[in-house]
Amino acid sequence: MPDSIRTLFQQLAPAVDFCSLRLVEESSEQMTVRQDVLQPLSTRIDRGAMVTVVHGGGYGYAATSDLSAAGLKDALDRARRWADASAGRSVVDYAKILMPNPRGSYAGAVAHAESLSRRELIDLLMQESNACRIDARVVDWYASLWRVTTSQLYLTADGAEASQQFQYLIPNLAVTAHDGSDTQTRSLGGQYNGYCRQGGLEVLEHAAFQGAGQRVAEQALALLAAPNCPEGTMDLLLMPEQMMLQIHESIGHPLELDRILGDERNFAGTSFVTLDMFGHYRYGSELLNVTYDPERPEQFASYLWDDEGSPAERAHLIRNGILERPLGGAISQSRAGIEGVANARACNWNRPPIDRMANLNIEPGDTSLQSMIKSVEYGVLMDTNVSWSIDDSRNKFQFGCEFGQLIEDGELKGIVKNPNYRGISATFWRSLKAVGDGSTFNVMGTPFCGKGEPSQVIRVGHASPACLFGDIDVFGGE
């Protein structure tokens, strides 16, 4: 198929200032065992192309799943009409933007572990499901695997060509326990499906999937017996499974450049960040170092080029607490007159690229987990997100976690349930008082980041060490 698409595209591309085609082919399979019963398998194969035309300062695009000559010609004609219609009427003069010219190929992380058949994977899920059923108070449980393979081909009429191959594995497991009037759920990575990576069965090792059924069930039962999280202003120690959500909502979305420029007002809000903050605004304490890093092959959103063909390179967004650059692709950078990164991304062939988080990470510090715990006189350790709420400007937030542990006089004490905390993005990160070292660092991700109209749900990676914050408003769920 790629050879025929190349030939057709070169034959059909109109005589315009710029023309590109992005072909996406994706296959996926989901397997779930719920309460020891295998659910119907879900398989999906999807293929189509997005064509883009820039001409006379206008910009147009059109998508098609009909990859015949007639289908591609129709899409190119529609994109050309939109470019002509928008010329001279857009907020951007696209004639002034130099579109990328990528050439080469990229393959993400591939499986290093021995592959398993579908039957063997189902047996593994059944094994972990059976292991969840350790007590009559366990009322619901499931184990699942989601495998995805994606191929992308990017072509331009002037000869650019870039191909990229990706494999993803997303394991999940959750247990719900109930006693009296209390219900508690504990999961492997949370509602965000946090143990997501590129690669194969080695991802299961990273998530400690084998043995998770009994372990997670025991934690759900322990939460039933635990006291409610204390309330007050105190230290807060967040583990990577919760840091993923904290980074995502209060750094990632606020720094998306199209949002800062006002393009998201009618869907997911705006941002408290403004263009004049870059280069001097103190986003966090001096310990905060945040990078856009597409170069970790195992991380969920690693790639060599974004969906506009811009080359992807690691860059600091926040260095020693100071805001340096936004998450903005080539077109948004031109609009704003500020340097961004290669993160113009689309969720599939039938959506245009927009500014999206990719791999957004906090760099490790030099403090061990034990040292952070020892430094806390009174506080709570929280792990794994269960609920989130944040205002339209991505500033005021309130997050809840599945699991908590009290810290008193430098020691971990008992488990607490329903742990929650709230804060304001513009000041929360300045309360960062310790950043965990490499031994606390974990590579996480989510397949469920939503944004855009029409909606786009996309894969995002977040890696982080454990982090300690001071004077945080903590409260229980009762």
Going along the chain from its start, the domains and CATH numbers come out as 2-225 (3.30.2290.10), 232-475 (no CATH)
Give me the torsion for CA of 426, 427, 429, 430, rounded to 10°: 130
For residues 48 and 53, what is the distance between their CA atoms, to the nearest angstrom?
Answer: 17
pTM: 0.96
Q: Encoding tokens for residue 309?
A: 């063909």
- Please report the pLDDT score of residue 384 as a whole number: 97
Q: Is the peptide bond before 454 cis (omega within 30 degrees of 0)?
A: yes
Number of H-type helices and E-type strands within the chain = 10, 24
Name the β-bridge partners of 63. 50
Instruction: List the beta strands (DSSP E) in 396-435.
Output: 396-408, 411-416, 420-424, 432-435
Q: How many Cβ atoms from other residues are within 10 Å of residue 31's Cβ?
A: 20
- Please report the pLDDT score of residue 158 as a whole number: 94
**Do residues 23 and 163 lie in contact, with contact meaning Cβ atoms separated by under 8 Å?**
no
**Matching residue, tokens 């989601």:** 146
Question: Residue 308's closest CA among 50, 89, 128?
Answer: 50
- Please report the pLDDT score of residue 1 as a whole number: 65
Q: Encoding tokens for residue 314?
A: 């690691």
* Tens of each residue's pLDDT in the chain, 478 residues: 678 999 999 999 999 999 999 999 999 999 999 999 999 999 999 999 999 999 999 999 999 999 999 999 999 999 999 999 999 998 889 999 999 999 999 998 875 545 788 999 999 999 999 999 999 999 999 999 999 999 999 999 999 999 999 999 999 999 999 999 999 999 998 877 899 999 998 999 999 999 999 999 999 999 999 999 999 999 999 999 999 999 999 999 999 999 999 988 877 789 999 999 999 999 999 999 999 999 999 999 999 999 999 999 999 999 999 999 999 999 999 999 999 999 999 999 999 999 999 999 999 999 999 999 999 999 999 999 999 999 999 999 999 999 999 999 999 999 999 999 999 998 999 999 999 999 999 999 999 999 998 899 999 999 999 999 999 999 998 6
